[in-house]
């Protein structure tokens, strides 16, 4: 034993030293791996075995005041793969071919690629059942994204705006309210399973995405459609460069419709000129012409510089104003204050303004809101232009009184007239009604905000009566709708081109409201460079106003004519067992539409009404409705007045 130990002593020593050094080195390495480089190796391990997946939120949607969707989110899927990780390539190619329109060979070519990454398809719409089928194949990466879709195309496109390929808002409401609409992304940590497929695990972190907030607008989709259709129609009829308009509730400042044409489809916004993208109602400013005369009239009456009966010499239509020739479109001799507005006399309003003075003219111009933005809720609004009083020339008082030397946008003009309609209050116009989360909890609510009062109710009522006379027997007769007490003002402005006022290029505009005794609707219409004679405000813009209002009041049963124009009729129950003499049967009152005799029904007249209104009237009397076409009712069968039985069918043709 001793001899053996002595013989192998040195060898044993070397082996022992080697083993000790090996273990020491191994321990040092393990210590280095676990302590000094532990975090580094941990990250590598996690990167190989786990994957962080961003879960995109769904963008909030935008709705009109009746909860009609103005935007939609459409799910699109992309499918990518590492071809080397796919086992059953043929089965996958067949499944993809059945789901998409591409052939099996197309997908086999990609699946047999030598690359480490291939897109099988990108951004296509497939059903959830197809997605579930694809998830059964290991090695596939399925990514889901939302793409914005605008179901109504051209309608309200300038207001809504659009998003980029990453679903970020870059125009209109989509941009201005992107923080509310976009939501917050979630994340999930997935671990690699034994087949190499990443899977969710309950013990790994998961944070659900927070979807974006929804926005409810004050817009009415039906009003908006009517406004755009009629603007487009008038644009073609007058050969104007552009047309714009806004419809408001003058009592609350709620914008019910706002548009300019030419417009664009925000589903394909890149195919349209960039000029079509902007909402000219708030971006384009112009000299308004005679619609601005309400400022001088209100100032003169408020400051007691004139009274309604005071007459002014209108010089038979031509007047030298400090070296500047002023003309009226029609010659007049003497007109009182009301008649000056009614007949839109430039000479008369200048003489009124001279009595008012520059200081009061500037004061009331600013009181009406001109020269500053309305802050209605969209970026890009221009403030218009009103020079400080100290910069006015000797003729500025008169020029401004008839709508020259100032620049306004269409919304400012509508807001100013709202103050006349609502008895003297400047209300802040707004287009966003409320913002609410997916849980329906309101996060922001826009209430009516009164900025200031421009004058007393008595003075404003006098101005309102002037505007009513404009439509009844003045320059705005084309805007009149019998029985609806339309009030308004025409404006015809020469465009200022190359340092002088053009005799060939005009702005035609009209602002009106109804009914004047209790205004529910107000609209401002502007045509840019219409052909003669439609360049006159009363011939161009006023016609569009009347058409728009007629369609709206025919469609919307909540807008009722003034009570004083209705005949007071006591209800009469027209029930009889026998009919001996039809000539003695009394006509039903206005509010009734049937004569109920032995369960027989008189067909109401619904021609000219909207589909909604027509169905309401016919269903109410006990008849069934068959509809052909869309739009307004142009004919009905049987004709109005014919006697039918209960549950008979009335066929309506719409166009």
For 592-651, what is each residue's pLDDT tens digit? 333 333 357 888 888 877 777 777 778 778 787 777 776 678 888 888 878 887 778 888
Long-range (24+ apart) CB contacts under 8 A made by 369-374 are: 369/412, 369/415, 369/416, 369/426, 369/451, 370/295, 370/406, 370/408, 370/412, 370/416, 371/406, 374/411, 374/412, 374/415, 374/428, 374/429
C-alpha 5/C-alpha 83 separation (Å) is 63
Of 114 and 483, more confident: 483
Least confident of 258-267, 343-352, 428-437, 565-574: 565-574
Q: Which of 510, 292, 527 is nearest to 399 (CA)?
A: 292
Look at residue 587 in the predicted model and tell me its pLDDT: 35
* % of the chain residues with pLDDT over 90: 54
Q: What would the pLDDT profile of 523-534 be if each residue is shown by its tens digit?
A: 999 999 999 899
Predicted confidence band of residue 335 (pLDDT cuts 50, 70, 90): very high
What's the rounded Cα separation, in Å, for the pair 478 and 501?
27
Structure tokens belonging to residue 440 = 């329906």
In this prediction, residue 31 has a pLDDT band, given cuts at 50, 70 and 90, of confident
Quickly tell me which residue has 């817009």 as its tokens: 219
The answer to whether the beta carbons of residues 269 and 162 sit under 8 Å apart is yes
pLDDT band at 50 (very low <50, low <70, confident <90, very high): low
Question: What fold does the segment set 221-555 form as a domain?
Answer: Beta-lactamase (3.40.710)
Q: Which of 549, 436, 431 is nearest to 488 (CA)?
A: 549
Is residue 461 helix, strand or coil?
helix
Rounded Cα gap, residues 212 and 179, in angstroms: 8
Q: Report pLDDT for 246.
A: 98
Quote the pLDDT of residue 480.
96
Return all residues near 196 (Cβ < 8 A) that are at least 6 apart: 85, 138, 139
Tell which wins on pLDDT, 386 or 500: 386
Higher pLDDT, 382 or 19: 382
Looking at the DSSP bridge assignments, the partners of residue 326 are: 319
- Which range is least confidently modeled, 27-36, 338-347, 405-414, 478-487? 27-36
Q: Please, which residues have CB within 8 angstroms of residue 39's CB and are 6 or more apart in sequence?
A: none
| 42 to 47, 201, 544: CA distances (angstroms) | 8, 19, 72
How far apart, in whole angstroms, are the C-alpha atoms of residue 122 and residue 141? 12
Mean local confidence (pLDDT), 382-400: 95
- The tokens describing 385, both together, are 């232009």
Q: Taking 70 as the threshold, does the pLDDT of residue 591 lie above it?
A: no
The whole-number average pLDDT for the span 430-439 is 93
Q: Read off the pLDDT of residues 208-230 as tens digits, 9 standing for 90 and up.
A: 889 999 999 999 999 999 999 99
Q: Is the pLDDT of residue 234 over 50?
A: yes
The pLDDT of residue 460 is above 60: yes
pLDDT at 582 over 60: no
CA 404/CA 495 separation, integer angstroms: 10
Place of tokens 């004139």: 306
Nearest to 62 by CA among 435, 443, 442, 380: 435
- The single residue listed with the structure tokens 């539409």 is 593
Q: Which residues are within 8 A (CB) of 231 and not within 5 positions of it... i.e. 6 or more apart? A: 243, 244, 245, 259, 260, 261, 525, 544
Rounded (to 5) percent helix, strand, coil in the chain: 35, 25, 40
Structural tokens at position 376? 């209605």
Report d(CA 529, CA 101) in Å as an integer: 50
Rounded-to-integer distance, Cα 644 and Cα 603, Å: 7
pLDDT at 178: 94
Most confident by average pLDDT, 109-113, 389-393, 554-558, 583-587: 389-393
CATH no. of 582-654: 3.30.10.20
Report d(CA 221, CA 304) in Å as an integer.
44
What is the predicted pLDDT for the residue at 577?
34
- Residue 583: CB atoms within 10 Å: 5
CA separation for the pair 189, 212 (Å, rounded): 23
413 within 8 A of 524, measured Cβ to Cβ: yes
User: For residue 542, which of 555, 523, 529, 515 has the smallest C-alpha distance?
Assistant: 523
| The model scores a pTM over 0.85 | no
Q: What pLDDT score was predicted for residue 574?
A: 33
Give the β-pairing of 242-248 and 521-528. Answer: antiparallel
Fold of 52-217: Penicillin-binding protein 2a (Domain 2) (3.90.1310)
Reduced to 3 states, what is the DSSP secondary structure of residue 196? Answer: coil
- Taking the C-alpha atoms of residue 498 and residue 335, their distance in angstroms, rounded to an integer, is 35
């Amino acid at each position: 034993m001793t001899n053996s130990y002595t013989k192998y002593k040195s060898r044993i020593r070397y082996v022992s030293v080697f083993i000790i050094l090996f273990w020491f080195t191994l321990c040092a390495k393990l210590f280095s791996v676990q302590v000094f480089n532990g975090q580094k190796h941990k990250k590598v391990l996690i990167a190989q075995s786990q994957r962080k997946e961003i879960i995109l939120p769904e963008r909030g949607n935008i709705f009109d005041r009746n909860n009609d969707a103005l935007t939609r989110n459409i799910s699109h899927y992309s499918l990518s793969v590492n071809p080397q990780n796919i086992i059953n390539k043929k089965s996958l190619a067949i499944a993809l071919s059945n789901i998409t329109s591409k052939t099996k060979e197309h997908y086999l070519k990609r699946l047999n690629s030598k690359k480490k990454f291939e897109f099988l398809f990108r951004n296509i719409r497939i059903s959830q059942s197809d997605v579930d089928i694809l998830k059964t194949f290991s090695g596939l990466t399925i990514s889901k994204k939302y793409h914005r879709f605008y179901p109504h195309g051209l309608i309200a496109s300038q207001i809504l705006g659009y998003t980029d390929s990453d679903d970020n808002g870059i125009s209109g409401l989509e941009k201005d309210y992107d923080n509310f609409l976009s939501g917050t992304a979630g994340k999930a940590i997935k671990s690699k399973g034994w087949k190499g497929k990443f899977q969710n695990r309950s013990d790994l972190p998961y944070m659900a995405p927070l979807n974006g907030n929804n926005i409810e607008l004050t817009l009415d989709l039906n009003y908006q459609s009517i406004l755009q259709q009629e603007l487009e129609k008038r644009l073609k009829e007058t050969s104007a460069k552009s047309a714009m308009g806004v419809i408001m509730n003058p009592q609350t400042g709620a914008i019910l419709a706002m548009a300019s044409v030419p417009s664009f489809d925000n589903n394909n916004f890149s195919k349209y000129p960039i000029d079509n993208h902007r909402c000219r109602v708030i971006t384009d400013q112009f000299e308004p012409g005679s619609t601005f005369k309400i400022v001088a009239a209100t100032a003169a009456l408020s400051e007691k510089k004139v009274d309604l009966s005071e007459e002014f010499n209108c010089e038979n239509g031509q007047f030298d104003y400090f070296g500047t020739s002023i003309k009226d479109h029609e010659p007049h001799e003497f007109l009182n204050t009301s008649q000056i507005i009614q007949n839109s006399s430039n000479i008369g309003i200048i003489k009124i303004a001279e009595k008012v003075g520059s200081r009061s003219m500037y004061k009331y111009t600013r009181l009406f809101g001109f020269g500053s933005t309305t802050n209605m809720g969209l970026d890009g609004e221009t403030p218009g232009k009103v020079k400080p009083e100290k910069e006015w020339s000797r003729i500025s008082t008169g020029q401004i009184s008839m709508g020259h030397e100032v620049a306004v946008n269409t919304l400012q003009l509508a807001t100013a007239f709202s103050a006349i309609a609502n008895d003297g209050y400047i209300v802040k116009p707004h287009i966003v009604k409320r913002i609410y989360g997916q849980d329906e909890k309101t996060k922001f609510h826009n209430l009516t905000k009164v900025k200031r009062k421009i004058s007393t109710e008595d003075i404003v009522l006098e101005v309102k009566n002037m505007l009513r006379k404009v439509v009844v027997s003045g320059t705005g007769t084309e805007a009149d709708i019998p029985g609806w007490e339309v009030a308004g003002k025409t404006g015809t402005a020469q465009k200022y081109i190359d340092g002088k006022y053009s005799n060939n290029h005009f702005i035609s505009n009209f602002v009106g409201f109804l009914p004047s005794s209790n205004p529910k609707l107000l609209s401002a219409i502007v045509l840019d460079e219409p052909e003669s004679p439609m360049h006159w405000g009363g011939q161009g813009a006023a016609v569009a106003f009347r058409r728009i209002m007629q369609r709206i009041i025919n469609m919307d049963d909540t807008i009722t004519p003034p009570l004083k124009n209705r005949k007071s009729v006591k209800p009469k129950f027209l029930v009889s067992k026998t009919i001996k003499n039809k000539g003695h049967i009394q006509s039903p009152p206005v509010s009734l539409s049937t004569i109920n005799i032995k369960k027989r029904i008189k067909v109401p007249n619904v021609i000219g009404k909207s589909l909604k209104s027509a169905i309401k009237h016919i269903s109410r009397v006990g008849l069934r409705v068959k509809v052909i076409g869309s739009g307004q009712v142009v004919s009905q069968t049987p004709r109005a007045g014919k006697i039918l039985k209960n549950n008979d069918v009335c066929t309506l043709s719409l166009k």
